[in-house]
Amino acid sequence: MTVTHDPIPRRPRWRNLALLALLLAPLLWPVQRLAERYYVNELTEQNRQTLDLYVANLLGTLRRYEVMPGILGELPVVRNALYQADDPDALDQANRRLNELRRETGADVIYLMDIEGNALASSNWAEHDSFVGRNFSFRPYFIEAMEGKLGRFFGLGNTSGKRGYYFGSAVRDGERNLGVLVVKVDLDHTERLWGNTPEQLLVTDNFGVVILTSQAEWRFRASRALDFDEREQIAFNRPYPTLEPRDLTLDINRWLIQSHELREIDWTVRILAPLAMVERPVRTAVAIGGATLLALLLWLGLLMQRRRHFIERLNLDAQARQQLEQRVQERTRDLESLNSRLKKEVLEREHTQQELVRAQDELLQTGKLSALGTMSASISHELNQPLAAIRSYADNAGVLLDHQRNDEARDNLQRISELTARMASIIAHLRAFARRDRYAPERVALQPALDDALALLAKRRQSMGVELIRDLPEATLWVQAGETRLRQILANLLANALDALGERPLPRRIWLSAERLENGVRLILRDNGPGFSAEALARAREPFFTTKTSAQGLGLGLAICDTLVRALDGELNIDNHAEGGALLTLFLRSAEPATAFPTEDYLQ
């Protein structure tokens, strides 16, 4: 019997090359990404140097003039003009002297006002837009100068309509204000120095409005939304040619933006480089990479052609082996199916047995946690802190009585009474929690509750040398919570932070900050301890899980806090800070404002 094989169809050569090209084409993507990263970094460094140069030029221009008002206010001709405001000769001498000083210093305008804000003399007294006789008492630089400060203000001149930065300083006779001397700096020249380059520069003031820019159509546009108070202030000070600055709309995906904040004048300088500057060199790099891949493709094509005949022979052998393997597979398929069913039954029985053992262990553990954890351990953990504080206050009261400091001793006894009331409240809350009692949250002030928790741990914190850094708003933050539950949560979180810092050398720090959000209040607690391990992050909310020894804790603190926070419709996030240490974020629903609870400074 002769077996004939059909000839193996030949795949055209160009199909192989096309397939190989499709496989190698994705290699151009990392080339493009690396080229983009390199040229973006180059452009970023170049723009940073350019930005630093422009910032130095702008600050140098302003600092050159900020000391001038105080110096010029001591000139006799200026003081004579204020003392003899009704004398035309004195005013004329002041006008001419101020004009000479303007030419010598390069200032735009120098003018003198009395205490009512009326301009008595000015370097531009002979020009059509003279300031003489005009009243500028509404300008911020006049108000700040009269208060004894160095007046600063950017805006358009009411008379000239030109942009400028104003420095104002009071002219004083002892403790009495005689008037205000103002120097106006022309910033148009600084803007023109920026030139016509692909990079665009802009300066925004404290309202986020563009005041200086190399792109004229961006001038006096708002880079962010303005609230009502800011619009009211703009309407009062009138720093721009419009009372309603239009929004500055930019496609940030088309620009590489870098900024530099000038904190002393509350301005921000930004440089915007079009990303198109990166595209051309990136295309060149990709073209070179594509040419390299094409050469590689041609070389591989030659190798494929040489090996084609060898592969065809291997295919014939493979067909024969395939037929034989197919027959073997058909004969063994039934045996494998039967073996698979037997293995599945054995695995199912073993799994059932393991589940039964696990369920029995979990049932025993649940009984232990329910009886021991919920009642004994929780009460012990929550009452340890007030008991420690009561012991401290009692010892202090005895010492104070020995020294006849009865008022201070009475204060300690009062604190002991408050702590016992709190312990009773905690026990009542734990009893309610044990019977799954859920009652509506109250309106509670966050800061007093936080002060109470800090007071309980103040002695321990001070003995450990832990520095407390607070960044809390002065306005009272009202949240939806129970007073006892909230203090319980805060005390547990702070105690855990102190435990984490126990093994760390000095310095030891705890950061506390809070902020009001749209629908709640966020409290952030951070320490510079060792932070959470991966296992601790995954199991921190489990009862009785702890990395401490049995003498240091039972592992219920975070579990209780998480349960209480969720009962208040809040959220507790546990993480590590990027600079090291633990980072706990507590979110609580906000409540309507009310009269704040009286607070005491426990941290003195």
Q: Same CATH topology for 67-186 and 189-276?
A: yes
| Percent share of the chain, pLDDT over 90 | 12
The domain defined by 441-589 folds into Heat Shock Protein 90 (3.30.565)
Q: What does pTM read for this prediction?
A: 0.43
For residue 342, is pLDDT > 90? no
Burial class (CB in 10 A: 0-12, 13-18, 19+), 59: middle
Q: State the CB neighbour count (10 A cutoff) for residue 399.
A: 12
Domains in the chain: boundaries: 67-186, 189-276, 441-589
CATH of domain 189-276: 3.30.450.20
How is domain 67-186 classified at the CATH fold level? Beta-Lactamase (3.30.450)
From 51-60, 288-297, 335-344, 442-451, the region with the lowest mean pLDDT? 288-297
Q: For 364-393, how does the pLDDT look when each residue is reduced to its tens digit (9 = 90+)?
A: 344 334 434 434 544 565 677 778 888 888
Q: Write phi, then psi, for 252 (nearest 5 degrees).
A: -65, -15
Q: Flag whether pLDDT at 69 surpasses 60.
A: yes
DSSP state of 118: B
Task: Report which listed range, 169-178, 244-253, 348-357, is most confident.
Answer: 169-178
For the record, the structure tokens of 405 come out as 């400091």
Distance of CA 236 to the CA centre of its chain: 32
Distance of CA 142 to the CA centre of its chain: 36
CA dihedral 472, 478, 483, 486 (to 10 degrees): -50
Task: Dump pLDDT digits (tens) for 133-188.
Answer: 889 888 888 998 998 888 888 887 766 677 888 999 999 988 888 999 999 988 77
